[in-house]
Chains A and B, each alone.
Chain A
Amino acid sequence: MRNPRRVWRPWGAVAWLAGVLFVLPAAWMVLTALHSEPDAATNPPSVAAPLTLQGYAEFFGAGTGVSPWPPLINSATASVGSTVLVLLLAIPAAYALAIKPVRKWTDVLFFFLSTKMLPMVAGLLPVYLFAQYTGLLDNISLLAVLYTSMNLPIAVWLMRSFLAEVPKEIMESAALDGAGLLTTLRRVVAPVAAPGIAATALICFIFSWNELLFARVLTGVVAGTAPVFLTGFVTSQGLFLAKVCAAATVISLPVLVAGFAAQDKLVQGLSLGAVK
């Protein structure tokens, strides 16, 4: 792109091959979702079997009468809620670490990252007992708060490197011109850091949307999230592959849309920080 003379033709073919390798499992999932259960389970796998929307119909409750909307809404609540919380907490912290350095700020960063050392499975029992004690079991806000704590360290780390890219001279001249903190944030910091914020938000959103372990243990009928709903299809009797694939396709959709919309921002955002 930047230097067309250097483009070596085979790279294009390799890129297509890599793309196909990455897309294959997902494409197979989408295709299987459109097959009937018997076709999905044939040997060898039938690629050309007639297409049907039966899998999707079953996902949306045909036959069982179980609506997929409550789990999807739960997932959206937990993911969006925790992403917003993470940004609200991480941006000021990262701002303090990047632009107004605190003494021993590397120690602070070290603390943030060291909290990622705890194996998540180990946290299950204490969190479960706490939830039971406080009556927060099967409550979606507990999940949102938990996801916030899981994403916060990485978010602070990423945001700090994004905000460190804001030129100090501009901040100082803004201060000399008598601009208040809020004005500086809005006029100077926000435009530079926006793609970085978008990238961080996307990363947090994907993680929360797909989290299964805590959701499975801490939620039940009321607050079950989409991945938990998905496990329900696997454990049922008989043929389930088409149904699972249809469910998985629908559940992946929001992340896909968000990812597709943000992929340019993602690259732009990530290229700001962490590097130099």
Chain B
Amino acid sequence: MTATENPPIVTPVPARPAVARRHRRPGVAALPYLLLAPATLTLLVLLGWPVLSVLLTSFRRLDLRELVQGKVVWVGLDNYRAVLGDPTFWTVTLRTLAFTAACVIATVVGGLAVAVLMRHVGRAVRTVLQVSLVLAWAMPFLAATTVFQWMFDQNYGILDKTLVRLGLTSFAGHSWFTTGFSTLAVIVTLITWQGIPFVAFTLFAGMLGVPAEQYEAAAIDGASGWQTFRAVTWPAVRPLVTLVTFLSLLWDFKVFPQVWAMREGGPDGGSTTLAVLQYVKGIAGSHFGVAAAVAVLMILVLVGLTAQNLRLMLRAQEYR
């Protein structure tokens, strides 16, 4: 029965619901838990078990030999020592953080801009925009990556041609993939392009919830576009911005297929992120123990990055 003592709505005097609740049969109290059980158990089994397995593997030496022979060799913190003692790991971690920040900021700011745009244009134009967004969203990762490779290609790329035509002749035959930085810039563009649709749709949907009177009042008060945005739109969509920032953080920090498919972490490891490093050590290099240690460290960084964000989000939900 205790389950129902803690309703999420903060009401000063919850008189009527309390009366209604007293009449419930005992079986009803267990119902929420029964409803929650299947999803929770599924997740515990399907995701909890790999997490546990990765954690245990990170304390073992598990190369191809041990894997084939089925031997279990515990090495304590050796894998962590190896990873943390490798200067490459720190470079890659900093690079991944910068890469994630660039992706998340570009996606959220771009998505917000597109959402505001959708609110301002007529129905026909908005439909065109929405269809374009769905197109970008729907494209398989690999197809999108291939198209971007060709767009940015040194010899065949449409981007260099366009820049030359615009008068920037120094871009003739410019290669975007010679440095890690510009390779990552291309990948950030790709991920932002694919990430904006979800963010834009979510934020636009949030803006639809703002009562029209508030905009009318702002217009009567003679507020400028920016003032209206700050006073009316922003407070309404801020919780949503927190949500999409959190989700983008989760996705972009761990993103692998696009980064790998673009240049396999090259040139010379210059576009290697933590997810790629983990793949290179593990699946490609068959040092599964070391790879697992990298994965555990990634989880720790991600928890550190999102903990504050998540706590704010949950608190906001609690006082709805």
Q: Do A and B bind each other?
A: yes
User: A274's contact among B36, B158, B202, by CB below 8 Å, is which?
Assistant: B202
Partner of B291, one of A15, A103, A122, A176: A122
The distance in angstroms between the C-alpha atoms of A275 and B212, with both chains bound, is 16
B123 and A275 within 8 A (CB): no
Residues of A within 8 A of B239 (CB): 274-276
A103–B38 touching, CB < 8 Å: no
Q: Is the interface of B mostly helix, strand, loop or mixed?
A: helix
Which residues of chain B come closer than 8 Å to A15, judged between CB atoms?
117-118, 120-121, 125-126, 128-129
Within 8 A of A (CB), among B107-155: 114, 117-118, 120-123, 125-126, 128-144, 146-148, 150-151, 155
A230 contacts chain B at the CB level, 8 A cutoff:
yes
Contact B250–A89 (Cβ < 8 Å): no
- Kindly supply a per-residue 1/0 record for chain A positions 208-227, scoring 1 wherever the CB is within 8 Å of any chain B CB and 0 otherwise: 01101100010000000011
Say whether A125 contacts B36, CB under 8 Å: no
Q: A248 contacts B212, CB within 8 Å?
A: no
Question: A100 to B46, Cβ gap below 8 A?
Answer: no
- B7: A residues at CB distance < 8 A: 101
* Further 7 A-B residue pairs, CB within 8 A, beyond A11-B121, A271-B205: A1-B123, A11-B117, A26-B147, A154-B247, A251-B143, A252-B138, A274-B202
Residue contact A25 to B125, C-beta cutoff 8 Å:
no
Whether B6 and A118, one on each chain, are in contact in the complex, defined by CB atoms closer than 8 angstroms, is: no
A164 within 8 A of B: yes
* Interface of A: prevailing SS: helix
8 Å CB contact of B134 from A11, A106, A263? A263
Contacting pair A22 B136 (CB below 8 A): yes
**For the complex, is A69 an interface residue (Cβ under 8 Å from B)?**
no
Q: Any chain A CB within 8 A of the CB of B282?
A: yes
CB distance from B112 to the nearest CB of A (A): 13
Question: Residue A126 at the B interface, CB < 8 A?
Answer: yes
Question: Provided the pairs A97-B36, A227-B141 are in contact, do residues A106 and B295 lie with their beta carbons within 8 angstroms?
Answer: no
User: Residues of B at under 8 Å CB distance from A?
Assistant: 2-9, 17, 20, 31-33, 35-36, 38-40, 42-43, 46-51, 53-54, 57, 114, 117-118, 120-123, 125-126, 128-144, 146-148, 150-151, 155-156, 158, 161, 193, 196-198, 201-202, 204-206, 208-209, 212, 215-216, 219, 225, 236-237, 239-240, 243, 247, 250, 254, 256-257, 274-275, 278-279, 282-283, 288, 291-292, 295, 298-299, 302-303, 306, 310, 314, 317-318, 320
| Chain A, range 16-47, C-beta contacts under 8 Å to B | 16, 18-20, 22-23, 25-26, 28-29, 41-45
10 contacts between A and B (CB under 8 A): A15-B117, A15-B125, A22-B196, A45-B158, A92-B39, A101-B4, A149-B42, A234-B142, A270-B201, A275-B206
Q: What residues of chain A lie closer than 8 Å to B17, measured between beta carbons?
A: 168, 172
